[in-house]
Amino acid sequence: MGSLGTFLEIFLQALAAGILVGAIYGLMCVGLGIIFGVMRVINFAQGEFLMLGMYFTFYLVTSFGVLSLLGPVVGPYAGALLAGPALFVLGYALHRFLISRATGVNITGTEGEGHYVQLILTLGVALVLQNGGLILFGSTPELVRTPLSSRAWEIPLLYDETASLFLNKARMVSGAVSITVAAALYWLVNYSRLGKTLRAAADNAQAAIYMGIDVDRAHRIAFGIGTGITAIAGGLVATYNPFQPYIGLDFVIIMYAGVVLGGMGSILGAFWGGMTIGLVQQLSTLVLPVQLQNAAIFVVFLLIVLVRPQGLFGRAAERI
Amino acid sequence: MRARGKLLPPLLAIAILAAAWLALGMLVTNSYYQLMLTLVPIWAVLGLSWNLLSGYTGLVSFGHAAFFGLGAYTVTIALTGYDLTPWLGIPLGMVVGVIAAIVIGYPTFRLRGHYFALSMLAYPMALLYVFEWLGYQEVTLPMKRQAPGFYMQFSDYRVYVALAVALLVAALLVSLLIERSRFGLSLVAIKQNEPAAEAAGIDTLSWKMRAIMLSGAIAAAAGGLYAVVLLVVTPESVFGMLVSAQALVVALFGGVGTLWGPLIGAAVLIPLSETLQANLGNVVPGIQGVIYGGAIVLVVLLAPEGIFWRVRDRLARPHATAPIAELPRASAVAIKSPDAPMKTAADAAPLLTVSGLSKSFGGLRAVADVNFEVRTGEILGIIGPNGAGKTTLFNVLDGFLPPDAGDIHFAGQRIDGLKPNRICRLGIGRTFQVVRAFLRLSVLHNVVVGAYVATRTDADALAAATAALGQVGLLDRAEAPAGGLTNKELRLMELARALAGNPRLLLMDEPLAGLAAREIEDMLGVIRALPARGATVVIIEHTMRAMVRLAERLIVLDHGRILAVGKPSDVTSEPSVIEAYLGQKWAASRAHH
């Protein structure tokens, strides 16, 4: 048993942590990716949707007796999943009454002009949600407690009987739920009728309109889905990461990094982009001080984007 | 873009503003309001710096906190670690800002649109964590009681107001000079249509680099002064996302791409947020953010283009465009005539030689081993069915696409692999299949952008542009915005833009597309006159009929290969050409008759 064995154990532990965190990052990126992919809106309020998903889950689990029926183990995950439809409604309404006034078909046609408006609009929305959250929820950090977070599966490593891998049960379940939800969305977008509508609207809004597709409605639905998916990811993060109303800022940048890495407009790409971020974040701790793990994310992000501007999984398409 | 040259009114406005601000600063005794009078100009300067890069070029930066923070930390570290006064620390910070701009700009300008915007976000975020790790969580500027003035520390707060106003005036002057020069017009051209700007000879990368370097320096100066005023610097307060957001919010709120926009935005938003913070922050924490965010949302919905433009549109009379006073009369400008008498095309030396040129996209060979030459003074037509590789050939010739194989010589110089603006500089102009205009600029300014490549001063550029407009017969439309032109006028304007650069070779991609029969006649007349004025012409066209009348020689392309070269009458009777155009059956049936 040498230092190599010890390093291997630490490496595997970091790898496992990276995959588990990456799966959840992947899910949030998918939520942002669908909004970005379908309507090319840079939505700065996405972090706040995540935050709302956390609080929704929290209050559902703690304040409403309904979920205690399901028990402390299933309850939090059911809460996170319920945050999806609830926040879908919010996202849908937000798009209907605010965002659509600054985006929509007529603006996607012009270069540059429309983006400014959406950008600053979503910044305003983010400020309102953040601070409104502070008023409603208070500034005390909360956590959705589950007995699973203090339990772990121990997986013996075969090369050495003293070494083993500890997999936190809460994170394992969160990761599994993330992957399931992302897979379901992947199916929805690629194989359902609704998904075809969304993809048509994303690919060429003008042509989609001529084909009789209600592009505005497609945008609303995409915005709602993106909001709901990110909220589910928020509920899952809430089971292991304490949160307060300003937590969105910490995650919105990770989400954008993941979406750009994956290649904008690709659901699968967004998931792998988020996974890459999770892996970089966790594996960087092997060689860098912990304080620099977020700096490592941005450096790797920049390197990849500069070498492959279309992202890891995107395709370049530009015609002169 | 407004008429340039009239510098006096804005200079007066800046002077009056500075005087009024200073007077206000001298009168106010409440230290809280004094702080406000200092912070507004600082954030306005950051907004101006953002506007310089993003407002004019359209490349939205989410990362201006990188420059702001580097300026702030340079001043702070210089003072705490090396006892260097901020009087030198701020200029040093500006140098750091310029270096950061070079390091950031070169790689990041390869990206466009959203990718550029989001990548810029990563720089301040990475810096934030690095500075935290380096142990600069919270640095306080030490008090220098023995020589406060030397260390930019004043007991009288009004001095800070004066410093902030001085910085604001400097930033406004820099912005004004840029806006009214070829620098500004080049940036706006890049924003409106980057490939067109590049094809018109604008070195887009070099202008963008200059813009980001200046922008970085100004943002760093704002950051440096911010550190001096607040005396405490934390990574979050200078590199944080809210700083980058503030830069763009004040500019967008006030009006993008204008001199006054960022100042208006800062003057409204900073006091609003600070007042809300002070008065409501303790009562209901968070309510100030809700109101501030709500105000932003409201204004964006009511005046999406920014307050400046909104107010201007309100005030402007119906005939908004002011006449361009300094427009020279067409007759006064001599149009360049060829030095040598016209030779017949046949015995002229080749101006452009293309040998072995190939370009593939994946498995598709768009241009396959093409050889031809263009003779000085001729009109050469390139025809071929859809997808024959005609436009790809042009894109390779003028540098938008690098060739996979082969070489291109122009006037004895090898040009393959050069960037479009270099090729334009050498004397090759280009018009596009789908007109690439700077739609928000006037017709004249569109053409002026094309004239920069051939002229040294802005006055010469204006004269050359006017001459080119006269040549295509568009002088009476000089002041109209390009967005309001008809298809024919747009095509003529694009031709004038190419001609203003005084090209020896002109590549025209389907200049007749979408024109009515009579308009085609007008256009043919203009094109026929070009060789006599010193420009050799290569034209791509679909319509065989017009080409037969226009071109002296034709090249027929099909599937990326040259099918035939020769006089129009010979080429059009070639069976292989007929087959490519009309199909095998038709060719066979014709052969029987």
Nearest CB to A127; choose among B122, B195, B292: B292
Q: What digits encode the pLDDT tens for the residues A130-148?
A: 889 988 888 888 888 887 7
pLDDT score recorded for residue A66: 61
Question: Nearest-CA neighbor of B437 among B474, B410, B384, B408?
Answer: B474
pLDDT score recorded for residue B321: 41
- Size of the A and B interface in Cβ pairs below 8 Å: 141
- The phi-psi region of residue B469 (left if phi > 0; otherwise alpha if psi is between -120 and 50; otherwise beta) is alpha
Using a 10 angstrom Cβ sphere, with 0-12 exposed, 13-18 middle and 19 or more buried, the burial of residue B584 is: exposed
Q: What is the C-alpha to C-alpha distance for residues A28 and A94, in angstroms, rounded to an integer?
A: 19
Task: Give the distance from residue A131's alpha carbon to the nearest chain B alpha carbon, in angstroms.
Answer: 4
| CB-based contact A123 B296, cutoff 8 Å | yes
Tell me the residue range of the domain where B201 lies.
34-315
CA atoms within 13 A on the CB side of B22: 14
Let me know whether B373 and B487 are in one domain. Answer: no
Let me know whether B232 and B373 are in one domain. Answer: no
CA atoms within 13 A on the CB side of A306: 17
Nearest CB to A127; choose among B110, B126, B296: B296
Residue A115 pLDDT class (50, 70, 90 cuts): low
Nearest CB to B117; choose among A42, A98, A130: A42
Nearest CB to A291; choose among B111, B132, B286: B132
pLDDT score recorded for residue A314: 60
Domain annotation covers residue B277 = yes
Among B501, B525, B558, the domain boundary falls at B501
Which residue has 């970089």 as its token pair? A280
Which residue has 């283009």 as its token pair? B305
CA angle B230, B234, B238 (to 5 degrees): 75
Q: Kindly state the tokens that stand for A274.
A: 């988020």
Determine the average pLDDT of the residues in A97-106: 65
pLDDT score recorded for residue B559: 86
Let me know whether B534 and B564 are in one domain. Answer: yes
Q: Kindly state the tokens that stand for A247.
A: 């937590």
pLDDT score recorded for residue A109: 37
Q: Do strands B379-383 and B405-410 pair parallel, antiparallel, or not at all (unpaired)?
A: unpaired
Q: Kindly state the tokens that stand for B545.
A: 């009929």
Among B296, B315, B334, the domain boundary falls at B315
| CB-based contact A115 B122, cutoff 8 Å | no
Which segments of B193-306 does DSSP mark as H helices, in order?
A: 194-199, 204-230, 235-239, 241-254, 261-280, 287-302
SS3 (DSSP) at B30 = coil
Q: What is the C-alpha to C-alpha distance for residues A142 and A234, in angstroms, rounded to an integer?
A: 13
Domain annotation covers residue B493 = yes
Question: Nearest-CA neighbor of A125 among A27, A199, A35?
Answer: A35
Domain annotation covers residue B14 = no
Q: Name A154's bridge partners.
A: A166
H, E, C per residue of chain A: CCHHHHHHHHHHHHHHHHHHHHHHHHHHHHHHHHHHHHHCCCCCCHHHHHHHHHHHHHHHHHCCHHHHHHHHHHHHHHHHHHHHHHHHHHHHHHHHHHHHHHCCHHHHCCCCHHHHHHHHHHHHHHHHHHHHHHHHHCCCCECCCCHHHHCEEEEECCCCCCCEEEEEHHHHHHHHHHHHHHHHHHHHHHHCHHHHHHHHHHHCHHHHHHCCCCHHHHHHHHHHHHHHHHHHHHHHHCCCCCECCCCHHHHHHHHHHHHHHHCCCCHHHHHHHHHHHHHHHHHHHHCCCHHHHHHHHHHHHHHHHHHCCCCCCCCCCCCC
Highest mean pLDDT pick, A31-35, A214-218, B304-308:
A31-35
Q: What is the C-alpha to C-alpha distance for residues B64 and B244, in angstroms, rounded to an integer?
A: 5
Q: What residues contact A298, with CB distance under 8 A and at least 6 apart?
A: A257, B122, B123, B125, B126, B129
Let me know whether B60 and B159 are in one domain. Answer: yes
| CB-based contact A294 B129, cutoff 8 Å | yes
Domain annotation covers residue B327 = no
Q: What is the C-alpha to C-alpha distance for residues A90 and A108, in angstroms, rounded to an integer?
A: 23
Q: Do strands B536-541 and B364-375 pair parallel, antiparallel, or not at all (unpaired)?
A: unpaired
| CB-based contact B252 A112, cutoff 8 Å | no
Question: Nearest-CA neighbor of B568 among B546, B553, B579, B550?
Answer: B553
- The phi-psi region of residue B375 (left if phi > 0; otherwise alpha if psi is between -120 and 50; otherwise beta) is beta
How is B198-216 classified by DSSP, letter by letter? HHTT--HHHHHHHHHHHHH
pLDDT score recorded for residue A313: 66
CATH number of the domain that B545 lies in? 3.40.50.300
The 10 Å Cβ neighbour count of residue A307 is: 10
Give the type of residue at B172. Answer: L
Search chain B and give the residue with CA nearest A123: B293
Q: Which residues of B touch A299 (CB under 8 A)?
A: 126
Q: Which helix (H) or strand (E) holds B413?
A: strand B413-414
CATH number of the domain that B65 lies in? 1.10.3470
Domain count for chain B: 3
Let me know whether B41 and B186 are in one domain. Answer: yes
In contact, B433 and B515? CB cutoff 8 Å? no
Let me know whether B129 and B261 are in one domain. Answer: yes
Q: Kindly state the tokens that stand for B362.
A: 């994946």
CA angle A8, A10, A16 (to 5 degrees): 100
Q: What digits encode the pLDDT tens for the residues A270-293?
A: 899 999 999 998 898 888 888 888
Q: What is the C-alpha to C-alpha distance for residues B331 and B469, in angstroms, rounded to an integer?
A: 12
Please provide the size of chain B in residues: 593
The 10 Å Cβ neighbour count of residue A125 is: 23
Q: What is the C-alpha to C-alpha distance for residues A270 and B561, in angstroms, rounded to an integer?
A: 41
How is B333-369 classified by DSSP, letter by letter? SPPP--SSPPPPGGGSPEEEEEEEEEEEETTEEEEEE
Determine the average pLDDT of the residues in A106-125: 63
B296-302 LR contacts (CB < 8 Å, sep 24+): B296/A120, B296/A121, B296/A123, B296/A124, B296/A127, B296/B249, B296/B253, B296/B269, B297/A98, B297/A121, B297/A124, B297/A125, B297/A128, B299/B253, B300/A102, B300/A117, B300/A120, B300/A121, B300/A124, B300/B253, B301/A98, B301/A101, B301/A102, B301/A121
Q: What is the C-alpha to C-alpha distance for residues B50 and B70, in angstroms, rounded to an integer?
A: 15
Q: Kindly state the tokens that stand for A184.
A: 């379901």
Q: Which residues of B touch A42 (CB under 8 A)?
A: 114, 117-118
Let me know whether B543 and B403 are in one domain. Answer: yes
Q: What is the ipTM of this complex?
A: 0.82
Domain annotation covers residue B175 = yes
Q: Which residues of A touch B114 (CB under 8 A)?
A: 36, 40, 42, 115, 260, 264
Q: Which helix (H) or strand (E) holds B539?
A: strand B536-541
Let me know whether B415 and B437 are in one domain. Answer: no
The 10 Å Cβ neighbour count of residue B361 is: 10
B78/A302: higher pLDDT: B78
Which residue has 């002011």 as its token pair? B322
- For testing contact with chain B, the best of A29, A44, A120 (most B CBs within 10 A): A120
| CB-based contact B60 A115, cutoff 8 Å | yes
| CB-based contact A249 B241, cutoff 8 Å | yes
Let me know whether B363 and B352 are in one domain. Answer: yes
Search chain B and give the residue with CA nearest A135: B286
Nearest CB to A305; choose among B60, B115, B297: B115
Going B75 to B78 to B80 to B85, the CA torsion angle's sign is: negative
- For testing contact with chain B, the best of A116, A256, A291 (most B CBs within 10 A): A116
Question: Nearest-CA neighbor of B28 among B18, B17, B36?
Answer: B36
Sorted by where each begins, the domain ranges of chain A are: 20-248
Q: What is the C-alpha to C-alpha distance for residues A211 and A191, in angstroms, rounded to an integer?
A: 19
Q: What is the C-alpha to C-alpha distance for residues B404 and B33, in angstroms, rounded to an integer?
A: 65
- For testing contact with chain B, the best of A131, A140, A244, A281 (most B CBs within 10 A): A131
Read off the pTM: 0.83
Q: What is the C-alpha to C-alpha distance for residues A267 and B48, in angstroms, rounded to an integer?
A: 37
Task: Give the distance from residue B352's alpha carbon to the nearest chain A alpha carbon, in angstroms.
Answer: 23
C-alpha A33: how far from chain center: 8
In contact, B171 and B263? CB cutoff 8 Å? no
Among B480, B501, B522, the domain boundary falls at B501
Nearest CB to A256; choose among B121, B130, B292: B121
| CB-based contact B119 A305, cutoff 8 Å | yes
Nearest CB to A302; choose among B58, B119, B249: B119
Q: What is the C-alpha to C-alpha distance for residues A39 and B114, in angstroms, rounded to an integer?
A: 12
pLDDT score recorded for residue B97: 96
| CB-based contact A131 B289, cutoff 8 Å | yes
| CB-based contact A135 B290, cutoff 8 Å | yes
Q: Which residues of B touch A294 (CB under 8 A)?
A: 125, 129
Q: Which residues of A touch B110 (CB under 8 A)?
A: 306, 309
Search chain B and give the residue with CA nearest A250: B241
The pLDDT averaged over each successive group of 10 residues in chain B (593 residues) is 64 90 86 88 94 87 93 94 91 96 90 80 89 89 81 83 94 91 88 86 91 95 94 90 84 84 89 81 77 82 77 61 42 41 55 90 85 90 85 90 90 88 90 85 89 86 91 88 87 92 90 86 88 89 80 88 86 78 62 57
How is B515-538 classified by DSSP, letter by letter? --HHHHHHHHHHHHTTGGGT-EEE
Please tell me the least confidently modeled range out of A56-60, A154-158, A284-288, B328-332.
B328-332
Let me know whether B544 and B492 are in one domain. Answer: no
Eight-class DSSP state of B481: B
Q: Which residues of A touch B286 (CB under 8 A)?
A: 130-135, 245
Eight-class DSSP state of B416: T
Question: Nearest-CA neighbor of B397 among B376, B417, B375?
Answer: B417
Q: Which helix (H) or strand (E) holds B506?
A: strand B505-509
Q: Which residues of B touch A304 (CB under 8 A)?
A: none
Domain annotation covers residue B8 = no
Q: What is the C-alpha to C-alpha distance for residues B177 and B51, in angstroms, rounded to an integer?
A: 14
Using a 10 angstrom Cβ sphere, with 0-12 exposed, 13-18 middle and 19 or more buried, the burial of residue B341 is: exposed
Which residue has 């001199």 as its token pair? B259
pLDDT score recorded for residue B587: 57
Let me know whether B549 and B570 are in one domain. Answer: yes
